[in-house]
Structure 1
């Protein structure tokens, strides 16, 4: 019996090649999208779950309330982790890590390494990162020891045994002995380092609590309650933080005790960091749970689109198979057998689609990895779990997509179909119309979303930032020049292509930033204590970056008192209770009772991402040794860079020249949004393709059923335009309904998404108009191909059609 079902199924597949190809290709695209997005979502949800006790590991975050706002830091002070462990028995262990970047040298090999980190001796153990060489328990115990990855060892030592050898790290040529080698840090984790240096190398003399700097993790006992533990943290703030605030800020005990309410430690599960933590100071750019939800919905919707195609086309083809059903019933087939026959055909289609999906995945996976910033191997899809998932999804999709056509076909009245009664009225059934509406609703919504994401990305990339990022180079390692740094600056200023230069490690969009608490001196009522970020700059910084002074003046060598002066931005002036005009000349007090005179107010500029609101900023002279910012004006960028490298070499630095452009650094801040826009675009195109395939097949069928009608109309004088309008108006009406439904739904969804951005676009009506015109035009082109073909056909042949 099964063999007979399969034989008939293959016969129908060959007989209806166009419909078969449309069904198989549509389902294959749907399954491919579903599997790729599912793997993406699975990978996102798997972050930091690899550790043996991942469910019991928590990161300590710090929330500081001030300025009517809450600043969240994912790192805390040096003593916090161990102090909490000693205070509460439910904490089994604590560990810290602090990222670094520096030059690493072995013999004649020297490279700038960006992925270094100082770590406690138990860090690798807590995160279950095994050593393939060395002892995991003792590798980072001794000062000046380092554990490196296998790739890192290959880079410096080649095929030599790395264990026991020494690497020279940093300007002071400190020797670090290799005491362990790991394979690599897992891909699905919120940190990726190539080398872990022993934190005991630092001789920390003061165990403080009130600052930040160390990413600190706690391992709780199995039955410990994290929320109950958090509730005990204020007593540690009162014990350790309050005295430090009182000492550093020079305030009364009563004033310092306010820190108990404004200085809060909290615990975040390590498994939540990747998708739920998005502070400015994360170890790496994280994912976003919203995108997981969005892409999960996309996977389901695109698979549904493919199933809708199958249902529509199979139901439409029912008329052509009505006599077959009637004859089968006369020959003794019962309804149950007919249903099983049609479900067999449906499932067979989906399994063909599954094979095509595997071929598509194989070819598209490299592009998908690049698009999603993942490193998924095709072997993953060959695991029994993946095969089982795809097999199950294909089987279920086949059943769900074929169940309605199966019941529809098997329910035909035998006598009526054998007499040739018309079933064309079924083509207007509400189900088929609603399915077409659903298809184009999803397609239109994706087009609208893609346009809005592109607009927001374009807005962020082209927003006036308050500083000039074009043709500005940043040399982060000017410190390699030692005492020649200032001489090098003067030398390159002689080049006519150099407009200006400034010595500073602080650039907009960079990770270097200090911070402190400040308050206005001798003011009550309107004055308040606020948190401000700090840039250390020189006299040429503002001019080099084109930052405007709106009140007062810039730093000047003509004023010796400027060493105790500061520049603040407009936001700092507002939050201190001043206006721009009366801020100049006021005195600011920072921790340690240091006083600074405001010499000028600079216009607000986006020194962080445009996604974040501009925060208070304070600029101070000095403490800027180490970086060089160069503003140039030339069309021959490569020629200038070649000359710059020659000048660098002449000064005999301790390392190679490294540089980057501010506009490139700025673009990296929006890599996540750019990937989102690209993914939306890709899936919008696929959704349109799937919907158009279904519409193409359905319109072909409808035209085939109305061949005689079209022939008669042509004989009676109907033009090609009349025939085209006759065939397309019903479908275009459904597409228009889908467009109208998509407007409020998409507006709400994208309005919600835009709330994550401090500076964002307004959603305008023309976005919806463009999407509507685009989808209606695509639908019209899809229908008109078949309609025009029918309209120009010989009416004599049309009237002879059976």
Structure 2
């Protein structure tokens, strides 16, 4: 045969890929014999042409052979064999198996919990019939909802609007109005009228129209009417419908239907219906439903005439007719609004429609449930779940490819004994599947325990895993299959591709197995994800601390606030104040219509302008507060110019305004603003007697509001007490007990309640704090998985380099040299992952911070500290495993050589 005369290599590759494994080698042998014969007789060109022609012919015949196998095998027997070999292999390498299972358990359990949380959040109010045609009316200062920021969007609707829209427009199937109330005082009398029990319902009380249950049917949630007529139960004034749990609470062991409840010591309401408790995944979490006709009876003509006043707790929902778009209905509502309001009010207020499915996710608006979650947060949590699975799979890939060095002889022997690449791949995939399946089953149990902690952490109601629930089973099956595929494909392809001759001689170096550079890439990817989350969590926690410690413009420490009963007698205020001031633990006392800030407080807003205001552009929205003379001093609100408000100003004509309102009205400096006359949108005039510094009546997430403060004792709803708890002045508990005695003496028929003002402020950030805690937990989980993988890799490396370390020590290497040898490479990889993670974390956190009016400045040390933390933990893992080998006697390793 001529020198360098070889057949076309591509035809051999084609045969290897397409021909059955049992025939490929035989075909190539026959082709090569024919090629040699043709080469001697016909020359190189003809021999190559015939080689291609004959190869394609053999290949075509091989397909026929494949369709007509010479023998049949039982696939179940082979599968059983694969599982047996997988069990033996896993037991032979117990250390790696345990590490792999632990990493996968943590990753899969976390992913299952996250999937459950996401499913719960996405299910809010999705069960109502025709939910895609249900909308909430909201008001905005601009005509485009999507362009507005939170400060320009509110939920309150003027009382006359719903009735006018219903009467003057078409295209609505139903419309319902409702007003929510907090801290409602409920008394239960006996048949003689004597009060037998009292309750304070902090949440869940609403006045609602009968059409509520026509729009919201809670279909598929188990909701039903236990007693009462759904069409008539809420028609008459002073009618009330209770949930089952409230009916049992008020009338234990008895029938609540027809019984009387006294609401706020004024309205005697008759129980006309009982319903099942509403599901937890609704933003309409009502327990006491009073007829809306009761509100109409109380407000009288103002329900039809007050087009300017708004209350953020007065919500309206509509159900559109099929074919009617929300934009079309908004135009019809605008025409109704325009026909009933003056031009300046119409131009500054736009009623828009918000889809019901967006209520739970639109953080610009409040809802009756008290919590929203942005879709961005849901996406972030979903990505965390996927990344957890990814890092757990990376652990498996790294350890499996590293372990393949020890399995080289096993794989080579199987190939020599006749195993094809396909059977080896199936066997190795089976091993991966077994590990992932074991981890999945254990993870399901762990996830059940984790759900309990997640419920308290996120303040949500999550059902445990139902092992017959299709969602649970499909989720687990999907996770097991995806992780098996991702984690198993690369190690199985690497090990099944071993050359049997080289494998039998065990001449593989660690660096050559599967490409050591790939394992470096996987380690970098794993720790990049980990450090992104750790750095991001550190920055989120820093922002939360900023919120809690920032100066809001008033003193929130050591202040106890107590709500006053509805329509409390102002004459009792002075008596209560004198008694409180006589206590040694009291530093100051103040009465007000609301509190300077906080989640739980009253809010009133309207428009005001300069004395010469003529158009809507001349007016600005401000928050109204009624205060007593001690309010400014107790909360240490800074007075910039003028004087405070005294009892002589109780007519409500002399007012304090804040610096921001003075600037918005172009009143000049605080000193120049004193003495200016302002005009409300309804015509009343005010004289500015003082200007105070801005303070945050909302959270620090938003900017300071325009404020106007007056004195009107008839509108006081809160009493604030500044404590002076110190040495010799008693404990906090004793102070609260004494305040309760004084309060109860003034209002013996009511239930005493109190709250520390700083806790009310902290409630602004409860959602962010909970998710900060959640991401802290995820950061620990990522670190745990990463360190497990790192521990497995360094264990393998230490075992493989035992003799090398012994030789180095004989030649003079110190323990420090040995530790440096093992740790240098991992330090480099973790530093590289940090450099990749920082820009991503910076972009994500900076985008999140841009949603807040006040936030931290991203400085270099905020990134360096968590980066050093991760590096330190990783180094401790590497050193803790390397130290034993570094300190070992080299004779123990070399004496057998």
TM-score, length basis structure 2: 0.85
Are positions 1:656 and 2:751 aligned together?
yes
Gap change, CA 1:637 and 1:412, over 3 Å in 2: same
**Alignment of structure 1 residues 65-464 onto 2, 5 Å:** 65=142, 71-101=152-182, 102-107=184-189, 108-114=196-202, 115-129=204-218, 130-172=224-266, 174-201=267-294, 202-203=296-297, 204-206=300-302, 207=304, 208-213=306-311, 214-242=314-342, 256=343, 258-279=344-365, 284-380=370-466, 383-426=469-512, 429-464=516-551
Which residue is 2:677 aligned to?
A: 587
- Runs of 4+ residues deviating >6 angstroms: 523-527
1:351 aligns to what SS in structure 2? helix
Q: Does the CA contact (< 8 Å) of 1:480 and 1:654 recur in 2? A: no
Taking a change above 3 Å as real, the CA distance of residues 153 and 403 of structure 1, as seen in their structure-2 partners, is same
Match for residue 558 of structure 2 among 471, 478, 502: 471
- Say if 1:734 and 1:16 are closer, same or farther in 2 by CA, change over 3 A: same
Give the superposition deviation at 1:632: 1.7
Deviation of 1:526 after TM superposition, in Å, equals: 14
Match of 2:874 in 1: 779
Secondary structure of residue in 2 paired with 1:613: coil
TM superposition shift of 1:217: 0.2
Q: Secondary structure at the match of 2:235?
A: coil
Once the 2 structures are TM-superposed, how far is the Cα of residue 27 of structure 1 from its aligned partner? 0.4
How far apart, CA to CA, are the structure 2 residues paired with 1:595 and 1:648?
A: 36
Higher mean alpha-carbon deviation, 22-31 vs 422-431, is at 422-431
For 2:351 and 2:98, the matched residues in 1 are separated by 60
RMSD over aligned CA atoms reads: 2.1
Measured after TM superposition, the shift of residue 151 of structure 1 is 1.0
Deviation at 1:407, TM superposition (A): 0.4
1:620 aligned to which of 705, 710, 717: 710
Question: Is contact 2:791-2:878 (8 Å) kept?
Answer: yes
CA distance in 1, matches of 2:608, 2:415: 89
**Alpha-carbon deviation of 1:362?**
2.4
**2:176–2:318 CA contact under 8 A, matched in 1:** yes
Cα pair distance change 1:196/1:562, threshold 3 Å: closer
Matches within 5 A, 1:647-686: 647-686=742-781
- 1:250 corresponds in structure 2 to none
Aligned to 1:691: 786
Give the whole-Å Cα distance in 2 for the aligned partners of 1:136 and 1:563: 46
CA offsets 1:568-608 (integer angstroms, 9 cap, x no match): 01111111112212110000100221000000001111121
Q: Deviations over 1:447-476 (max 9, x none)?
A: 111111111110111111111111211111
| Cα distance in 2, alignment partners of residues 738 and 396 from structure 1 | 25
Change (3 A) 1:163 1:527: closer
Residues 750-793 of structure 1: CA deviation (Å, up to 9, x unaligned): 00011111110011100111122111111111111221122122
| Partner Cα separation in structure 1 for residue 128 and residue 610 of structure 2 | 48
Choose 1 or 2 for highest CA Rg. Answer: 2
| Aligned counterparts of 2:132 and 2:895: Cα–Cα separation in 1 | 73
| Equivalent residues of 1:131, 1:180 under 8 A apart | yes
Quick check: 1:85–1:92 contact (8 Å CA) kept in 2?
no
Check whether the contact 1:95–1:216 (CA below 8 A) recurs between aligned residues. Answer: yes
Aligned equivalent of 1:50, options 108, 113, 127: 127
Deviates more, 1:285-294 or 1:593-602: 285-294
SS of residue paired to 2:359: helix
- Kept in 2, the 8 Å contact 1:233–1:264? The answer is no
Cα distance in 1, alignment partners of residues 280 and 649 from structure 2? 53
**Are residue 600 (structure 1) and residue 690 (structure 2) matched?**
yes
Q: By how many angstroms is 1:359 displaced? A: 2.0
SS of structure 1 residue aligned to 2:618: coil
CA shift in 2, pair 1:368/1:801, >3 Å: farther
Tell me the distance in 2 between the aligned counterparts of 1:755 and 1:390.
37
2:581 alignment partner, one of 493, 503, 518:
493
Q: What are the superposed Cα offsets for residues 709-742 of structure 1, whole Å, 9 maximum, x if unpaired?
A: 1121122111111111111111211111100101
**Equivalent position SS for 1:274:** coil
Question: What SS class does the counterpart of residue 256 from structure 2 fall into?
Answer: coil
Residue 94 of structure 2 corresponds to 17
Counterparts of 1:527 and 1:409, CA distance in 2 = 75
CA deviation after TM superposition for structure 1 residue 298, in Å: 0.5
Aligned partner of 2:807 in structure 1 is 712
Structure-2 separation of matches of 1:668 and 1:96: 28
Other-structure match for 1:503: 591
Distance 1:502 1:381 in 2: 57
Are the aligned partners of 2:188 and 2:197 in contact in 1 as well (CA < 8 Å)? yes
- Check conservation: 1:76, 1:209, Cα contact below 8 A: no
Evaluate the alpha carbon distance shift between residue 801 and residue 532 of structure 1 in structure 2; reply closer, same or farther with a 3 A threshold: farther
Match of 1:632 in 2: 723
1:370-424 CA distances to partner (integer Å, 9 max, x unpaired)? Answer: 1121111214465222112112211221121011000000000111111221232
Any conservation in 2 of the 1:501–1:629 contact (CA below 8 Å)? yes
Tell me how many residue pairs correspond in the alignment. Answer: 785
User: Kindly tell me: are residues 425 and 84 of structure 1, through their superposed partners in 2, closer, same or farther at Cα, counting changes over 3 Å?
Assistant: same
For 2:279, what is the secondary structure of its paired residue?
coil
Q: Closer, same or farther in 2 for the Cα pair 1:82/1:524, shift >3 Å?
A: closer
1:272 is displaced (CA, Å) by 0.4
TM-score under structure 1 length normalisation? 0.95
Distance 2:270 2:651 in 1: 45
State whether residues 518 and 531 of structure 1, in contact with CA within 8 Å, keep that contact through their aligned partners in structure 2: yes
Rounded to whole Å, the distance in 1 between the matches of 2:332 and 2:649 is 49
- Counterpart secondary structure, 1:535: strand
CA contact (8 A) 2:623 2:705 kept: yes
Shift of 1:649: 3.3
Structure-to-structure mapping, 1:791-802, within 5 angstroms: 791-799=886-894
Distance, in Å, in 1 between the alignment partners of 2:116 and 2:614 is: 58
Q: Secondary structure at the match of 1:304?
A: helix
Cα offset for 1:552?
A: 0.6
Q: Which moved more, 1:17-26 or 1:418-427?
A: 418-427
CA distance in 2, matches of 1:309, 1:281: 43
Instruction: Find the aligned partners of 2:615 and 2:348 in 1 and give their Cα distance.
Output: 19
Contact 2:359–2:367 (CA under 8 A) maintained in structure 1: no
Displacement of 1:478 in angstroms is: 4.6
| 8 Å CA contact retained: 1:44, 1:188 | yes
- What are structure 1's unaligned runs of at least 5 residues? 243-255
The equivalent of 2:606 in structure 1 is: 516
Query: What is the CA distance between 1:83 and its match in structure 2?
Result: 2.2
Decide whether the 8 Å contact of 1:481 with 1:651 is kept in 2. Answer: no
- 8 Å contact kept, 1:516–1:531: yes
Displacement of 1:525 after TM fit? 12
In 2, Cα distance between the equivalents of 1:481 and 1:621?
16
Return closer, same or farther for 1:801/1:467 CA change in 2, 3 Å cut-off. farther
CA distance 1:341–1:673, shift in 2 (3 Å)? same
Question: How far apart are the structure 2 equivalents of 1:491 and 1:143?
Answer: 40
Asked if 1:740 corresponds to 2:835, the answer is: yes
The residue that corresponds to 1:577 in the other structure is 666
* Inter-partner Cα distance in structure 1 for 2:840 and 2:467: 34
